[in-house]
Structure 1
Amino acid sequence: MTPADTAEAAGAASAWVLALLALSLAGYALGVARLWRRAGARRGLGLGQVLAFAAGWSLLAAALLSPLDAWAEQLFCAHMLQHELLMLAAAPLLVLGRPLAAWAWALPQGRSRALGAFFRTPGWQVGWQAITRPLGAWALHALALWGWHLPALFDAALHNEAVHALQHTSFLGTALLFWWSVLRPQARRRTTAGPALLSLFTTLLHTGALGALLTLAPQALYMDPRATALPWGLDPLADQQLGGLLMWVPGSIVYLGCALWLGARLLSPAQRPRGPRPAPLARPRPGAP
């Protein structure tokens, strides 16, 4: 593929990303407006949830549409920072924002009810439970993380825009499932904190191990002989080591912080849930377990 072909493919991918981000934001805003008009302001979806979605959406846009995306084609550490923004910052905030509920309200009522009926079918429920329970979500996320960091697959993503898009999609998609399994059940019942804590702890261990492997490797595992990091003052090994540290340290802090929060909930006396209660309305909540 020539540089011109690569630039054209990257431009087309950016246009698709921009369109999907705009559609998701417009759908969320429309759904929240309709819900609050029907149920009252801040009912069904609280202000904190809306702000969480806005923050997650902004971080997603920053990771995929800012200069960081161009830098990630030259620097392994920038590529790693991009992935960490997707998986450790944008994904949990988007989950806390409950976008499925908002998007359901954005649909016409007939289509919303038909979609809700589909999501209540046994076949969908079995599949959804399989990928959103802690074990299933943990396994999918771990497979995506380790699989895409195999040198052959990682380098393929750097040289093929379609593979690159698949890599980002799998990172974000499995991260959303992982954080759903950890965070969403906690909004309803405290007894699910145990499996979530185990999921967080083991993810901290295996992602930390991957980060340590990249940091302590005696030679560069990625990038081609063109050494695209050299103009930035980094040789390929130093670039990889910096990327490994970005996965190792900030990632561990995020997982540990969330685990401490869940642990505090598990040990604290039972309390009545606070915040706005979801309005008992007819619109479906797609994918709700």
Structure 2
Amino acid sequence: MSDAAQDIFAEWSLPLSLTLTILVTAILYVRGWFAIRKTRSAQFHSLRLVSFLAGLATLWLAIGSPLDGFADAMLSAHMCEHLLLMSVVPPLLLYGWPVVPLLRGLPAVVRAVIGPFIRSASLRRLEHWLVTPLVAWLAMNITFLGWHVPAAYDFALEHENWHDFEHICFLGTSILFWWCILRPWPSARRSKSWGILIYLISADIVNTLLSAFLSFCGRPIYPYYSGRPNPLHLTSIDDQILGAVIMWVLGSLAFLIPAVLIAYELIEPKRHTTNSVISSHNSSLFGRRV
């Protein structure tokens, strides 16, 4: 292990506020999940519980573990951190259908206080607007590109509070983005259409363009990493290329795998309908011959 890596592990300390927040969130969800499972066991199966808790664990791994220290020293580690925040944590959390379990997990007195606010018409209109596909797509991709502008990227790394805000931006807008795909209950369910493929593939194009630029520009883009000891002894440009490849390959898979699965869902009913029509037609032909 290099001296730089040893220093990162030596300087790491357990982030108490983040860890406690995640633990309290997990406790509230589990409490609410058991309560709602009594009447909706088919909807709130064990996989939803596992998914939500895995999302919280991944969130801690991204910004609470020594990975966050490596992200300050390596662009490639920083890209891994962003990938977890934007493409892994949100789908895991949303598959757990977290809204109702988290509310049910709160003490009754807290629910009584926040209930009128949650049910307000203005808040509901804002919620519906935020998770319209165009708004969610723009929010995530503008945030993604904006924070990768060199001046903004370096500024966040140099100022811890702004770095935390950057993480909140990535996580929050990505939750909006994935919400439009997963539509967790009690959101109104919508039949998936071919438009959702455009939604995913166009986001992948944005990711691909930025990754390609970082891979082939031929020079370090982020001055922050210049002159800093790299734990893997990579040059700045090699570290940048590695980070771009991680973002390009794994980031694209995060968009393209759901696109393929959704395309299969859209094609499969048509295939069944076509087969039924053919079978019915053949039956009628054989019936006439008999």
Sort the TM-score into its range (normalised by shorter chain).
0.7 to 0.9
Q: Note the C-alpha offset of 1:232.
A: 2.3
2:62–2:81: 8 Å Cα contact kept in structure 1? yes
Q: Note the C-alpha offset of 1:109.
A: 3.6
Partners of 1:115 and 1:195 in 2: CA distance: 36
Code of the residue aligned with 1:17 in structure 2: it is L
Task: Please provide the CA RMSD for this pair.
Answer: 2.4
CA distance 1:127–1:245, change in 2 (3 Å) = same
Q: Note the C-alpha offset of 1:99.
A: 1.4
Q: Which residue of 1 aligns with 2:111?
A: 112
CA distance 1:12–1:256, change in 2 (3 Å) = same
Code of the residue aligned with 2:247 in structure 1: it is M
Code of the residue aligned with 2:239 in structure 1: it is D
SS at 2:269 equivalent: coil
The within-5 A match list for 1:1-289 is 14-36=15-37, 38-39=38-39, 42-109=41-108, 111-112=110-111, 115-184=114-183, 189=189, 191-224=191-224, 226-269=226-269
Between Structure 1 and Structure 2, how many residues are aligned? 260
C-alpha deviations, 1:25-62, integer Å up to 9, x for none? 111111112223x426x344221211111221121111
CA distance 1:264–1:231, change in 2 (3 Å) = closer
C-alpha deviations, 1:103-137, integer Å up to 9, x for none? 11112345435544433322112211111111111
C-alpha deviations, 1:2-26, integer Å up to 9, x for none? xxxxx9xx98992221121111111
CA distance 1:225–1:168, change in 2 (3 Å) = closer
Percent of aligned pairs sharing the same letter: 30
CA distance 1:125–1:226, change in 2 (3 Å) = same
Partners of 1:57 and 1:220 in 2: CA distance: 33
Partners of 2:140 and 2:92 in 1: CA distance: 17
2:74–2:239: 8 Å Cα contact kept in structure 1? yes
Any gaps of 5 or more consecutive residues in structure 1?
Answer: 1-6, 271-289
2:225–2:236: 8 Å Cα contact kept in structure 1? no
Higher relative contact order (CA 8 A, sep 6+): 1
2:74–2:231: 8 Å Cα contact kept in structure 1? no
CA distance 1:249–1:229, change in 2 (3 Å) = farther
Partners of 2:131 and 2:257 in 1: CA distance: 21
Any gaps of 5 or more consecutive residues in structure 2?
Answer: 1-7, 271-290
C-alpha deviations, 1:237-260, integer Å up to 9, x for none? 111111111111111112110001
Partners of 1:185 and 1:50 in 2: CA distance: 13
Code of the residue aligned with 2:164 in structure 1: it is A
TM-score normalized by structure 1?
0.82
Detail structure 1 runs of 4+ shifted over 6 Å in the superposition.
10-13, 185-188
Partners of 1:11 and 1:264 in 2: CA distance: 45
1:229–1:235: 8 Å Cα contact kept in structure 2? no
SS at 2:209 equivalent: helix
